[in-house]
Amino acid sequence: MAVLDIKGISKHFGAGVLAVDNLELTVGDGELVCLLGPSGSGKSTLLRMVGGFETPSGGSITIDGEEVIHLPPERRPTGMVFQSHALWTHMNVYKNIAFGLKLRRRPADEIKRRVDAVMELVGLAGYGERQTHQLSGGQQQRVALARSLVLEPKILLLDEPFASLDQHLRERLREEVRDIQQRLGITTLFVTHGQDEALSMADRIVVLRDGKVEQVAAPDVLYREPATPFVAGFIGTMNLIEGTVSNGTFSRAGFSSPLPVGDGPVTFAVRPEALVIAPAAGAGAAKIHRVTDYGTHAIVDLELPDGLRLKSMVPEARHWTTGQAVDLAPRAFSAYRDNALIYRSNAAR
Amino acid sequence: MAETFAPPRRIDWVGISFAVVLTLVIIFPLIVVGTWAFTNVWRYPAIIPQEFGLRFWSQTLARPDVWSAITTSISLACVVTLLSAIICLPAAFAFARLEFPGRSLLFFSFLAGQAFPKFGLLVAIAGIFLGLNLIGTFWGVVLIQLVGTLLFMIWIPVAAFQGVDRRMEEAARDVGASPLRVFWSITLPQAGPTIAAAVLLTFVNTFYETEGAWLIGAPGIRTMPVLMISFINNQPVIQYGAVLSVILWIPSFFALLFARRVISGGSFARGFGA
């Protein structure tokens, strides 16, 4: 069942600035959906419209079948966690979490029970009397999460919640948040510009660009079958080669590959791990520009004769040297024309 | 094992000279005035008074004009601060949060009161007040002192309201607080210490305000500072002035004590946009 249903939603800022453009999205019960996109793609605006902090220029948002577009934030069944934590610094941890329940005039013993339970859930048991400035960034984020969860919202909205934390903490917290989300089965909309975060947490990812949906798909599908060149380039690393097809062969500078599509301009997309290189007898298709050893694998930077840079992933660095001429063999690839997928090789599926 | 060596202790001459200069400029006059206030006899060339005592305290406090000046000063400062808060705080909130035509012009117009020579302004206002029969009245002085408080009571609270994180307010809306409740439970407590600083500054400034009180208030209204000036001008005995000075310190002393409790570090600075 769809908990959140967004239909034809748009948002203009001032004259001509279209932050969100006629967007459709459905989020099912207990699902965690990530809104992923570069800054300015409209993902935060969309989230804030669901929370009631921005008024859409048009469209409809329903939660459990009920239209919420005219409701102020305090009357929506949503709970938002802000990037800056936005804890109330004049209240201690307990009061921060209990505030929403107090507003609902719950009996004191119920408030205590629910706040204690949620503090236990987010790993903050015993921290109730602490002042917010005595907490680390990760703990502050847990308080912010607890503050929303304690009210048992129908939809949890997370606005880049880990952006202000360091890498290590971010990874740990996203696992914890994912665990909590699954344990409670709470429907969650999550905004991020980090693809790692999206790929590791989401049931489905919505890739946004300029206020429009580029693709909605599960993380593995998104990685293996990007629907547009933008998604291909945005998720993971992708070599995007602009070139032309004539008589079933794609070519660009020294690089060519069979491509059974009609003649014309094409964007050829191949992942570094699918671009196989081999030492060339003569001039080769490309020259090695740099070899970077990552231990588990190595990345070879290649340069086509016209200067275009490509990346290839190889198991070991030691076979390759800078300046070496190599031949290229794409093992799995796809091709785009006019922003749409027109071909995908068998191995890419 | 690592050993730590204390660096050779160097004498901080710059710090010492600062301390000495500050002591001379600030503490020394205070000590002199304080000593005079508790002196019965102190004749040249003695370094310390010949006779300490409270004789001039009882004489000063026995004067009805001193008591009426104390009451006048305190009630003036209270009324002006209260009125100023009632007028300025909502205005400050509007300046901080709302967009309206002429906003910046109006905002900077509060500087005008401080930008021109104050006495000229006061004389002009006194002329107007004369026509309105406000000269020599309590409310005339209230009005003139109110003008002097506008700058601090608008500008500092504006900075305080602007300094409140909008996300904090949104988070409160999110958990179910109405806009009014957000203002009461989040915005006001967040801006509170800085606003308290502004109120305190206003109270103390008003208490010590002299020119307006003298020009508009005379002869009917005599505040403590005005009385002190007339004591110093008309009395050959230093002790009267000294005793009044010490009495005048009392409100600022309490204000400072209060300030330490209410104002966390940096509130004043934040009020000025630091």
User: ipTM score here?
Assistant: 0.80
CATH number assigned to the domain comprising residue A252: 2.40.50.140
- A150 in Cβ contact with A186 (< 8 Å): no
Chain CA centroid to CA B73, Å = 13
Closest chain A CA to residue B167: A86
Among A83-87, A260-264, B7-11, where is mean pLDDT lowest?
A: B7-11
Residue-wise pLDDT tens digits, A276-330: 998 888 888 888 999 999 989 999 999 988 889 999 999 988 888 898 889 888 9
CA dihedral B148, B150, B153, B154 (to 10 degrees): -150
- What pLDDT sits at residue B268? 53
Give the residue among A180, A94, A17 at the shortest CA–CA distance from A190.
A180
Task: Tell me, yes or no, whether A149 and A211 share the same domain.
Answer: yes
The answer on pLDDT for B146 being more than 80 is yes
Distances (CA, A) of A121 to A38, A109, B16, B274: 32, 18, 56, 39
B24 pLDDT above the threshold of 60:
yes
DSSP assignment string, A221-242 = HHHHS-SSHHHHHHSS--EEEE
Is A207 in the same domain as A276? no
- Give tens-digit pLDDT for A134-190: 888 888 888 998 999 898 889 999 998 888 788 888 888 888 889 888 888 899 999
pLDDT at A349: 45
Per-residue pLDDT, A107 = 92
Same domain, A309 and A212: no
Arithmetic mean of pLDDT, B246-273 = 67
pLDDT over 70 at B1, yes or no: no
Which of A165, A196, A231 corresponds to the end of one domain? Answer: A231
Please say if the pLDDT value at position B108 is more than 70: yes
Number of inter-chain CB pairs under 8 A, A vs B:
62
Report, as an integer, the average pLDDT of B198-205. Answer: 86
Is the domain of A215 the same as that of A325? no
Residue A141 and residue A251 in one domain:
no
- Please state the domain extents for chain B: 56-248
Q: What is the domain-level CATH number for residue A193?
A: 3.40.50.300
CB contact at 8 A, B263 and B196: yes
Total domains in the fold of chain A: 2
Chain A contacts in chain B segment 192-251 (CB below 8 A): 192
Partner residue opposite A73 with nearest CB, options B167, B173, B189: B173
Pick from B165, B175, B192: which is nearest to A99 by CB?
Answer: B175
Of A212, A231, A250, at which residue does a domain stop? A231
Closest CA to B146 of B203, B93, B226: B203
* ∠ CA A312-A318-A321, rounded to 5°: 70
Residues 6+ apart with CB under 8 A from A191: A34, A35, A43, A44, A46, A47, A157, A158, A159, A160
Q: Determine what percent of chain B is predicted with pLDDT higher than 70.
A: 91
- On whether both A249 and A142 belong to a single domain, the answer is no
Q: Is B51 on the interface with A (CB under 8 A)?
A: no
Shared domain check, A260 and A135: no
Residues A249-281: tens digit of each pLDDT: 898 888 888 888 888 899 999 999 999 998 888
Distance from A90 to chain B by nearest Cα, in Å?
7
Whether residues A275 and A216 share a domain: the answer is no
What is the pLDDT of chain B when averaged over all its residues? 82
Q: Which of B174, B186, B189 sits opposite A80 (nearest CB)?
A: B174
Q: Which residue has the higher pLDDT, B243 or B6?
A: B243
Question: Domain check: are A311 and A260 in the same one?
Answer: yes
Question: Does the pLDDT at position B83 exceed 90?
Answer: yes
Tokens representing residue B132 in the block: 């309105």
Is residue B169 over pLDDT 70?
yes
Among B165, B177, B189, select the one facing A74 at the smallest CB separation.
B177
Please state which of the four CATH numbers 1.10.3720.10, 1.10.1740.10, 1.10.3260.10, 1.20.1730.10 is assigned to the domain occupying B56-248: 1.10.3720.10
Q: Which residues of chain A neighbour B165 with C-beta distances below 8 Å?
A: 84, 86
User: B211, B210, B206: which is closest to B255 by C-alpha?
Assistant: B206
Its domain, for residue A299, covers 238-348
Mutant choice from A82, A145, A157 vs B, greatest count of B C-beta within 10 A = A82
Q: Are residues A84 and A176 both part of a single domain?
A: yes
Question: What is the pLDDT of chain A when averaged over all its residues?
Answer: 88
Q: What percent of chain B has pLDDT over 90?
A: 9
Give me the numbers of helices (H) and strands (E) for chain A, helices first please: 8, 21
Written as one letter, the residue type at B109 is S
pLDDT at A340 over 60: yes
The answer to whether residues A71 and A233 touch, using CB atoms and an 8 Å cutoff, is no
Residues A194 and A258 in one domain: no
Label residue A97 by pLDDT band (50, 70, 90). Answer: very high
Reported as a single tens digit per residue, the pLDDT across A28-39 is 888 999 999 888
Q: Which residues pair with A241 in a beta bridge?
A: A268
Same domain, A209 and A274: no
Q: How far is the C-alpha of A246 from the C-alpha of B82, rounded, in Å?
A: 84
